[in-house]
Chain A
Amino acid sequence: MAIRVEVGLKEHLFDARGSRVKRQILHAFPRLTPPGRISCFDIYHVDADTVEQAFLQEAFCDPVIQDMSVGGVLRASAGWYIEVGFRPGVTDNVGRSAQYALELITGTRIPVFSSRGYLIQGDYGLETAQAIASECLANILIHTIRIFPFPAGPRIEPCIPRITGLHEPEVEEVSLDLSDGELLLLSQTRTLALTVEEMKTIARSLRHPGTLKNRESMGLSGKITDVELECLAQTWSEHCKHKIFNAGITYEENGKTKKISSLFATYIKGATAKIRRAQGKDDICVSVFSDNAGVIRFNDEYNLVFKVETHNSPSALDPYGGALTGIVGVNRDPFGTGMGAKLIFNTDVFCFASPFHSAALPPKILHPLRIFEGVREGVEHGGNKSGIPTVNGCIVFDERYLGKPLVYCGTAGIMPGTVGGEPSHIKKIDPGALIVMSGGRIGKDGIHGATFSSEELHEESPTSAVQIGDPITQKKLTDFLLVARDKGLYRAITDNGAGGLSSSVGEMATACGGCLIELEKPPLKYHGLSPWEILLSEAQERMTLAVSPDRIEAFLALSKRMDVESTVIGTFTDSGFFHCTYEGRTVAYLSLDFLHNGLPPMNLRARWKAPVGDNRETPVPLNHGIKLKEMLGRLNICSKEYVVRQYDHEVQGGSVVKPLVGEQCDGPSDAAVIRPLLDSEEGVVVSNGIIPRYSDLDAYHMSACALDEAVRNYICVGGNPNHWAFLDNFCWCDPVAGPKNPDGEFKLAQLVRANKALYDYALAYACPMISGKDSMKNDYIGGEVKISIPPTILISVIGKIEDVKKAVTMDIKQSGSHIYILGATKKELGCSEYLASWGLRGSRLPAVEAKKALKRYRLLHEAIKQGLVLSAHDCSDGGLAVCLAEMAFAGGFGMDINLDRIKSEKGMNDTEILYSESSSRIVVEVAQEKRKSFMALFGRDASCIGSSTQAPCLIIRSKSGQTLISEALADLKAAWKKTLDF
């Protein structure tokens, strides 16, 4: 018999969590009679017959603020009591900590499971209570729900989420001598995500006489084992192999065709290789495209490591767990690069549908507000608890993210250029080195994550793909491994993410030429996993290491001391084979060459036909002041302070330019600057650019404008345009044509164009791309509905500022300054926020003039270095009008601006000048006494368009000199803040 312990705040204290739950309920059910008081309880289910009450009290209860009941409940008010626990096998961080605390006190290990209780006062029917539970309090994919009427409810029994129905571990042999149809069915039923062609390639390799002989020598037959099949499927998945990016593509435009052998090799790697050659000894790249993250030089002693990942599909199913796993997962990329980097910042970009979505939802889709809140909280817990500052990011809204939200999580690290005299970015593994797994244990979590994310989301998507990250286990792991690294206790490290051990050991094995994994060795969360599940599990918080036999004792001792579980699970070899045994018997024997190079390249067709825009006249608002306030309140422009404040953006002590800046610390920063080395004034700059709605006209310009936006942001705070690098991160809708995807050729053409733009502009800016990611199946199919995201690229820039004391922020600093705009304003309102506010698309997208822009950016950098710039802010969503308003209300100073002083194309009216989104434009504040020096640098590229004023009012005068806008800063700021003021 187990014990149920309920802990709650003392009755006289304000239940803040309860008040938050109440707000969430009212958001989700606006028509519901508001509930009365909501009380939250922490519940511990202790799997023992008896435990002394004093022990439970000491472990679980803070007597100053809490009451505890063993076996009973604390309150008896009328309403519904909803208890939310975890399904068996789901990561229960609170339960784990509770077990640890109880063990410290009692000296014995007693399993403890946590759940959360909510007593909701209100006269609701059972159905309403159920709806509240499933819409606001629990996610049935991971949670169990129990509902009790109060106060007359029955006694609440303890509830232990035992794992039952597990089979004995077994290895299945599968024949691939099947028809095409049967092969496809096999692929689908096992979530292999392999095509018939790929299945046939595997079948052919098995029939090869040499293969057969090798297999026989290991006691295997001509049938494939499930371990091998699953291992191949994940290694060959779109997620891991980037098949589309490496496919041969026939691209057709205006009747002309062009062959592209691989987008990745041609455009991404191709551009970087050219840039590096041109830069010669000034090349800052250290390791690109070959490891978990890209590595560039920071200074003579240290390198920077940076990676951005996505975690879209899991976040669609379980926003909290998916996003949490996304952030702690990407942490392990720089951490698992070379010999391992210390993590210095996170940057997150989310794409959601409107949180105010009011139409009916397709099957299995969560409301966008719920996704927003879940993702926000997941990243909050993942980032804050890991002690990594979240320094920059943004949120983009578009209705098409209803089918799949995008959750981009990025992390950078810093590592010494050499560790123990060896270059830190190189993984060197000698045959005979031991394979060690450190960190969490293996469960069924996230099995098939890699193959699952290589499919569109559908109603039957596997729920085992959902996992919950555990930042504290990972923090302990990274604390330990950084010490071990500096003591020289291991030689190479990589993370266990998609594909689990199969992927991590499989990749590391290429460094020495083989591996032998003993699959009974890795520690399991619970008994009953088959060998293939152990190999494939994506259970979190695990790193794989190569440890030489003479260091293993010291490694394991340190690990134990720092409360981290580490286990030797095999040996690196030079056999040429990916070899797995289970209790002595061979269960997988795949040639490494076949595993990594056996996948036949795909051949795809792309066909471009430019979408037709509308050529209507730009609508002119009746009242420009009102329109500006409406624009400021639009989801893509409005303040994201609600989210930003809940992220720790200054832990580690090196914060220089924060995400919120200005007089009241609430202005939207362009980019972040941090000092990763506290004794140094050298800074790291990071920025992002993303503009998916431009894909509606042309993904080429979408890509170019995203890149230019990231660059502008970077330059605005003082980033050095000679010491920088890009990360590209593609999220696409399925670009492979098929029966379910008739416009696949067009989407592929968009992908080709987006790549071409990156190539063109990376070369033009002489900025290498160092790492990236692509996620290709961001579609939802449910019932009769298919929703595809707009093709989306996130460009992130990482680079350096030599002296952080030169950094610049976007808020106006004083009255009487001159306000300049750099760059020309053109009639480029296609897909702009302004036209979108009228439900229009327009036809002409901003085109980036790279040569002029780069010259401008270099000059601005020079001006910033010379201290000539008081503030700088980029013009992006909402154009000049929004940019000026943000600068003014962030700084608390007004502006008086004349539109006739703006260099604009002929025939543009005032409205178009205000809201054009022409790229490469930056608004700059210069003090009167610095004006001459500033103009000496820029000449005609800078136009003085007005001045800053003491009066807290934004005044904009039309080309003919009339007052178009005269708005109090307080009103503008209020309009900007109210939309997402949750």
Chain B
Amino acid sequence: MAQIKALILTGFGTNCEMEMAYACRKAGASADIVHISEVLEGTCAINDYHFLNLPGGFLDGDDLGSAQVESVRLKHARVRTTGRNLFEEIETFIGRGMLILGVCNGFQALVKSGILPGDPLGKRRVSLTFNDSAKFEDRWVRLKVNPESPCIFTNGIASLLVPVRHGEGKFVTDSDETLSELTGERLIAVHYADQDLSPTMEYPLNPNGSVSAIAGICDRTGRIFGLMPHPEAYIHPTNHPAWTRNRDLADKGEGILLFENAVNFLRGIL
């Protein structure tokens, strides 16, 4: 069986790299946490990997808006050895049919650099802005998975319980047409949902006021997926906020399912 190699790209303010690597390893991949500067230096190549993880955090402090500086870095910082910018490296990575997962700040980086929705690649069509509450909030949310979505990561999952931890997670589109396209192409992989698993605009079930209760989207191939909530924060059963209320613990948290799907998919194609 092929060894699936996951890369967790860090530095400049990311902070969920450790648990993301842990999730990848638990799911059966090998995982390297690599600083962006190592990639720029050429000592590590994105295209030596199968599964690119963009973890959450505060890239560059989110000083110019979440992941805004990261989008500039992806397009303008060049790898010393190849002379290509990071975006071009990722383009090649996508062309190879590999998987990308962006969580929270990583999701923001994917949409702000136009990797999601990725049609055309590099064009910004959606964004994530300040929560309607105008507050950073840490709370657990219920996600409904869109069963018709091509998303590799959510395949076979009906719903997920995971935490959000962000101040800029309200999903918006540049136009109604884009929203219809996302809906029509079934690219909205996960919605914020209520107890009955209906997508909801009700706060705090929908914690930020995202249009159409969008919590995460994928590209047309389903291989690139970004979401605001943190699946890597629910790998161990005791991560659940009320686990002491039901001590018949599962042996793992629900968040790991996304990573297992990724690894299984890659095993199938490699």
- What residues of chain A have their CB less than 8 Å away from a CB belonging to chain B? 9, 13-14, 16-17, 19-20, 42, 58-60, 62-66, 93-94, 96-98, 100-101, 104-105, 114, 380, 384-387, 470-472, 475-476, 479, 483, 561-563, 645-658, 660-663, 665, 675, 678-679, 804-805, 807-809, 811, 813, 871, 891
Contact = CB atoms under 8 A, between A and B. Distances in A.
Interface string B60-104: 111111001100110011000000000000000000000000000
Contacts of A101: 60, 64, 68-69, 72-73
Nearest to B85: A104
A646 B135 CA distance: 7
Contacts of B138: 645-650
A807 B244 contact: yes
Contacts of A100: 60, 69
Majority DSSP secondary structure for residues of B touching A: mixed
A13 B129 contact: yes
B238 A97 contact: no
Given A62-B112, A100-B60, A665 B129 contact: no
A648 to B, nearest CB: 5
B135 A653 contact: no
Contacts of A58: 72
A492 to B, nearest CB: 24
B238 A479 contact: no
Given A472-B61, A662-B242, A646 B112 contact: no
A562 B247 CA distance: 44
What DSSP secondary structure best describes chain A's contact surface? Answer: mixed
Contacts, number: 195
Contacts of B41: 561
Nearest to A95: B63
B64 A98 contact: yes
B124 A63 contact: yes
A475 B172 CA distance: 30
Given A650-B138, A653-B19, 11 more contacts: A14-B209, A16-B130, A16-B134, A19-B134, A97-B63, A101-B69, A105-B76, A114-B63, A648-B136, A652-B15, A654-B19
Contact of A380 (B69, B136, B140): B136
Nearest to B66: A62
A899 to B, nearest CB: 28
A570 to B, nearest CB: 27
B13 interface: yes
Nearest to A97: B63
B38 interface: yes
Interface stretch (B147-155, B218-226, B228-236, B262-270): B228-236
B10 interface: yes
B11 A476 contact: yes
Contacts of A678: 18-19, 22, 235-236
A661 B60 CA distance: 32
Contacts of B159: none
B139 A811 contact: no
A801 B129 CA distance: 40
B140 A17 contact: no
11 contacts: A14-B209, A19-B134, A42-B64, A387-B58, A562-B35, A650-B138, A653-B232, A653-B235, A654-B19, A658-B241, A891-B245
A387 B57 contact: yes
A871 B245 CA distance: 9
Interface residues of B, number: 66
A483 B12 CA distance: 15
Interface centre among A470, A647, A652 (most CB of B within 10 A): A652
Contacts of B48: none
Contacts of A652: 15-16, 18-19
A813 B244 contact: yes
Nearest to A385: B58
Given A63-B174, A64-B174, A16 B165 contact: no
A16 B133 contact: yes
A384 B58 contact: yes
A59 B72 contact: yes
A665 B69 contact: no
Nearest to A647: B138
A678 to B, nearest CB: 4
B245 A663 contact: yes
B77 A104 contact: yes
Nearest to A557: B41
B134 A20 contact: yes
A272 to B, nearest CB: 32
Nearest to B69: A101
Contacts of B130: 16-17
A94 B18 contact: no
A62 B65 contact: yes
Given A101-B68, A645-B135, A646-B137, A64 B239 contact: no
A174 B135 CA distance: 52
A16 B130 CA distance: 6
User: Which has the most chain B C-beta neighbours within 10 Å: A96, A387, A658, A871?
Assistant: A387
Q: Which of A476, A649, A651, A804 has the most CB of B within 10 A?
A: A651
B261 interface: no
Contacts of A471: 58, 61
Contacts of B134: 16-17, 19-20
Contact of A385 (B61, B133, B235, B238): B61
B18 to A, nearest CB: 6
Contacts of B238: 655-656, 675, 804-805, 807
Contacts of B72: 58-59, 101, 104-105
A805 B251 CA distance: 11
Contacts of B136: 380, 384, 646, 648
Contacts of A17: 130, 134
Interface in B21-36: 22, 35
A97 B136 CA distance: 21
B212 interface: no
Contact of B241 (A476, A654, A665, A807): A665
Nearest to B10: A479
A663 B242 CA distance: 7
Contacts of B133: 16
B64 A655 contact: no
Nearest to B43: A561
